[in-house]
Structure 1
Amino acid sequence: MPQKLRTDFPSELEPIREAARRALGSVKPATASTPADKHFLFNAKRTDAGRNLPAPHLVYFVLVDLLDYRDLGRFEKLAWSIPIEFNGRAFLIEHRKFGVGVFAADIEKDEAGAQQIVNHIHKAVKAARPFFDWLAAKAIDESTVNVTNKSISLFDRFEFLRDSYRLKENEAETRKDERVVKTGKAESGGDWQTISFPAYRLRTEARWLGLSAIEAFFSWTEHVFIHIGILRGKLTSANEVTRAAEANWPTKFKLAFDLSDERSKRLYDELLIVRKELRNFVAHGSFGKQGEAFRFHSSAGAVPVLLPDPIGSRRFALGQPSAFDLQSALQTIEEFIAHLWEGPRAPAKIYIQKYELPLILTMTHDGTYGRAMTSIEDMTLFAGHLAGQMDNAANMDW
């Protein structure tokens, strides 16, 4: 039976299709004349060789999308099934719940053939790389993509570091009057004594944890702002999401907030200070962009050289580094997190932070997200339904 090949991709990819077909060798689509038992589809068993196939989507792209092999469709615990013939014997390439594989009627007779099939498919996948690139580029251009959501794990990292900071700070406060005295005898015969204060080291470690917590907070916000922007309809295409991901933090912030709101603007300004004085400084190797690493040579010794305003004058000036208040910075962050999930952004928390669902860009175009964002109740119903559908798909419960 002749194959009906897809024709919706550029003619320059035709040699890729031919190369993939040649790489498959004797692997052919099954036909009505392929010898097989009438119960073969239900009784075929997984071969050991088939466990080494490439990723399921790559196998499917080559056989079905590129070469138009027949997909028999879904069945319980089965995502897709492609019947093939190899050296006059029937096989199945299937993606079942426990993975993709090559399935045969007689494992003892067909194991060697299954290994050859796997080898041929690996060669075909390698030959088809330009086709995969074309598929991905086409999906990006058409925005038929999902945006991965890692908000829960990123926020968990922030909370872990913040809580660890607090525990360490509390321990330092509890042990603030503690002294550790050690004595001994020197080789010369005299006595020696050292005195240490555990609270000093504990406060140093607490500061490290606090700095890391603030770093983790900004990492989470850069992620979550983009997802809120999609839900609010401010980002509707893959290219817009890409540009937003590459933009600076203030640009991302404005995807989620209207700075005409007084509280949002105040928190924005306070977080910018935290970012400038701490996060950016640490991120750039503790050199920063304001001359923090410089000391001015003078008759009074080495004194700090700072830029008073990174946005204004580029002239260096003598200055005094200010002590950064971690407690105050974290309080601002706590207030901001509460504000983030209030008002028109409250439904977004259900989708992003409770269910951690991927953002499906096609749902920005058809109004699905717009309708769900009208209330917490609407979003709860929608997100729960979508999560259920995804669970069923993952379990292949069709």
Structure 2
Amino acid sequence: MLIDPKTKKSLLNLLSGLEKPIKSRGFPAGFYDSAVKISLNQSLQRGFLLKYVLVDIMGFPCAYQPIEKVAWEIDFVFNGTHCTVSSEKFGYRLYIRSKDRKIISRLSNQLPLIFNKAVLLLQKHLETFSASEIEKGDIIIVNQYKELFDMYTFFKRQAQRKRNLRNIKTKEKDFAKSWNTGIKAGRESFYFEQAAYFAFFGLLEHLLVLLLAFRNFNPKAESIKKFIFLKWSEKYKRIFNLIDGQFNEYYMFLVKLSRQNRNLYAHGKFSKDNSSMLVYLAGTGLISAKPFNFNDNADAPLFRWLGGSGESFQKLDKFLQLLTEHIDFKVSMQIIRGGLNIDFSPKERREYKKLMHSGDASEFVEHTNDLIDRYQNMDW
């Protein structure tokens, strides 16, 4: 990322009090034993950019992975006091080599302010840089499949639990009480079902975006950002070939499900068929403005009170299972379910193609997760 001369001049003025050490890693033996360690976790904003400011722009020396649990260290001298700022397993740390409490107090307050102002100067350039990378399609999508899947599973199971309560035969002799208990369980089952449908379509939309990286994505021909905000049905048709009978069948099922449940409740139960409106018919009274349909009983009050059967969830689960077994999606689902973020860069998309050609990504997922775990724990 390039910055303009004006911004660099501002950074130079802001950081003018920081001097590079005369010798790289030239601090005296026992430096850390005699230094005061201060946590910057609460005071430092966007600390991950600090190394970029000090090293990549300003040219300060940096030690990468000098010891276990430390990602990088940057040495500098500020107003004659030797200091180090570092990225460690449990956060960012500032080391001040001084026994003077006044100096320690002043620097522990002053340096985080300077660092934050330096990072803030980059904000405009970061926005421009990010927009450019997105336009090129050179981005990584954070994989949130597990969280969204768990959310869907939670509501689905809660709906099932309420259905089971509805169907339990009790010894309650009071018919009204027994009836009301069953109705309450059915109604709550219906509420959880609606939440589960919302969660599933959220999961589906996220999954379709992740799968784009495996479906001959061409950043010159299509925009990731525009794709993200397409309707789920448009994304579905881009990812899945509807000539395939299975995917066409699920598409029709999902369209119907979204119209009956997701769309209706997402828009305050207002629908295009006028079902939320009544008109007055002289001599009869209020009647529904909705066109009559003999088979349309899904929205009847009794249906909502009794709750559904759970059959829709079985079909949704079979759809997800199909993706894990289908020859075109087995590898991509291994990677997605393995929790890896999805990299849209040309290099990684070529790697994905190789894995899809091999038919198995289990070793790739295991190896990558091991590297991520080691990096997060800073085990070098």
State the TM-score bracket (shorter-chain normalisation): 0.7 to 0.9
State the secondary structure of the residue aligned to 1:247: coil
Displacement of 1:142 in angstroms is 4.3
Q: Give runs of aligned pairs for residues 1-398 of structure 1, distance below 5 A.
A: 9=2, 13-32=4-23, 36-38=27-29, 40=31, 43=33, 45=35, 47-48=37-38, 50-51=40-41, 52-75=43-66, 76-106=68-98, 108=100, 110-112=103-105, 113-175=107-169, 178=172, 180=174, 197-234=180-217, 240-299=223-282, 300-306=284-290, 317-318=291-292, 321-323=296-298, 327-343=310-326, 344-353=328-337, 355-362=338-345, 367-376=350-359, 378-398=360-380
Distance 1:338 1:322 in 2: 30
In 1, are the aligned partners of 2:24 and 2:61 still within 8 Å (CA)? no
After TM superposition, give the deviation of residue 56 of structure 1 in Å: 2.3
Q: Specify the code of the residue in structure 2 equivalent to 1:349.
A: M
Q: 1:47 touches 1:107 (CA, 8 Å); kept in 2? A: no
Residue range with higher mean Cα deviation, 203-212 or 70-79? 70-79
Q: Structure 1 stretch 23-32 or stretch 164-173: which is displaced more?
A: 23-32
1:214–1:364 Cα change, 3 Å: farther
Shift of 1:348: 2.0
Distance in 1 between residues matched to 2:221 and 2:126, nearest whole Å: 17
The answer (yes or no) to whether the contact 2:143–2:336 under 8 Å persists in 1 is yes
How far has the Cα of 1:90 moved from its partner? 1.5
How far is the alpha carbon of 1:33 from its aligned partner? Answer: 9.9
C-alpha distance in structure 2 between counterparts of 1:396 and 1:318, whole Å: 66
Go from structure 1 to structure 2 and tell me whether the alpha carbon gap of 1:195 and 1:214 turns closer, same or farther (over 3 Å shift): closer
Residues 35 and 88 of structure 1 are in contact (CA less than 8 Å); yes or no, is this contact kept in structure 2? no
1:219 Cα offset (Å)? 0.8
* TM-score, with structure 1 as normaliser: 0.82
Cα deviation, 1:312-358, whole Å, max 9, x if unaligned, reads xxxxx4557531655342233133222222212122222111x2110
Task: Report the AA paired with residue 147 of structure 2.
Answer: S
Does the CA contact (< 8 Å) of 1:93 and 1:103 recur in 2?
A: yes
Structure 1 residue aligned with 2:304: none
Q: Which amino acid aligns with 1:249?
A: W
Residues 273-297 of structure 1, C-alpha deviations (whole Å, 9 max, x = no match): 0111111001111112332211232
Matches of 1:391 and 1:237, distance apart in 2: 34
Deviates more, 1:145-154 or 1:227-236: 227-236
CA distance in 2, matches of 1:32, 1:293: 77
- How far apart are residue 149 of structure 1 and its match? 0.5
Is the 1:230–1:361 Cα contact (8 Å) retained in structure 2?
A: yes
Query: Would the alpha carbon gap of residues 290 and 128 (structure 1) be closer, same or farther in structure 2, given more than 3 Å must change?
Result: same
Residue-by-residue CA offset, 1:161-203 (whole Å, 9 max, x unaligned): 1111111111111147856479xxxxxxxxxxx8862101110
User: Is the contact made by 2:198 and 2:262 (CA closer than 8 Å) also made in structure 1?
Assistant: yes
Distance 1:58 1:50 in 2: 13
Tell me which amino acid in the other structure corresponds to 1:153: E
Please say if residues 210 and 326 of structure 1, whose CA atoms lie closer than 8 Å, have aligned partners that are also in contact.
no
Instruction: Please list every run of 5 or more consecutive structure 1 residues that lacks an aligned counterpart in the other structure.
Output: 1-7, 183-193, 307-316
**Preserved contact between residue 70 and residue 87 of structure 2 (Cα < 8 Å):** yes
User: Residues 98 and 45 from structure 1, CA distance in 2 versus in 1: closer, same or farther, beyond 3 angstroms?
Assistant: farther
Q: 1:211 to 1:146 in 2, by over 3 A?
A: same
> Equivalents in 2 of 1:203, 1:346: separation in Å?
37
TM-score, length basis structure 2 = 0.86
Alpha-carbon RMSD across the aligned residues, in angstroms, is 2.9
Amino acid at match of 1:204: R
Q: Could you tell which deviates more after superposition, 131-140 or 273-282?
A: 131-140
Q: Is the 8 A contact 2:36 2:98 kept in 1?
A: no
Q: Does the CA contact (< 8 Å) of 2:134 and 2:224 recur in 1?
A: no
Residue in structure 2 matched with residue 311 of structure 1 by the alignment = none
| Bigger relative contact order, structure 1 or 2 (CA pairs below 8 A, ≥6 apart) | 2
Amino-acid identity (%)? 21
Q: CA deviation at 1:360?
A: 1.3
CA contact (8 A) 2:40 2:91 kept: no
**Would the alpha carbon gap of residues 395 and 233 (structure 1) be closer, same or farther in structure 2, given more than 3 Å must change?**
farther
CA apart distance, 1:122: 2.0
- Provide the C-alpha distance between the structure 1 equivalents of 2:371 and 2:178, rounded to a whole number of angstroms: 63
CA deviation vs aligned residue, 1:113-140 (integer Å, no higher than 9, x gap):
2332222212222333223323423433
